[in-house]
Amino acid sequence: MPDPEKGKDSVVTCRESADALVMTVRGELDVMTTSFLEDEVNRRRPLSRPLALDLGGVTFIDSSGVRGLLAARRAAMEDVGTPVRVVAVSPIVRRVLEVTGVADALLELTDREDGGGLTAG
């Protein structure tokens, strides 16, 4: 039975920068919480600017989380013609993306800890 307390600290927040819609994900990104990211992306569709993901605060990710990241990438490609840009990534997320073979697709533009050149908007 699902634990109602699981995921209570997982958060997706959004802000507009000069050149992207930045979604910051904190906490766990798993079967119980990936819907937070998916819902936020879908609520903002069609996207009007490139999508950037800050995953620096993600403490755990499973295959559902990877699926959610790939869905965000697909939405960005469909709506604005550019893949999602990861602007920060925690070591655990980087490792899972590498092991699952999707790091090249998700980290193709930048994964720098400094925000990838985004400016506050």
- Residue 86: strand, helix, or coil: strand
Nearest to 58 by CA among 29, 32, 99, 94: 29
Decide if 65 is inside a domain: yes
Q: pLDDT tens digit string along 98-113?
A: 999 999 888 754 444 4
Q: What is the CATH number of the domain that holds 21?
A: 3.30.750.24
Decide if 30 is inside a domain: yes
Decide if 23 is inside a domain: yes
Look up the pTM and report it. 0.81
Domain enclosing residue 33, as ranges = 12-106
Q: pLDDT tens digit string along 22-76?
A: 999 999 999 999 999 999 999 999 999 999 999 999 999 999 999 999 999 999 9
Decide if 64 is inside a domain: yes
Number of domains composing the chain: 1
Decide if 60 is inside a domain: yes
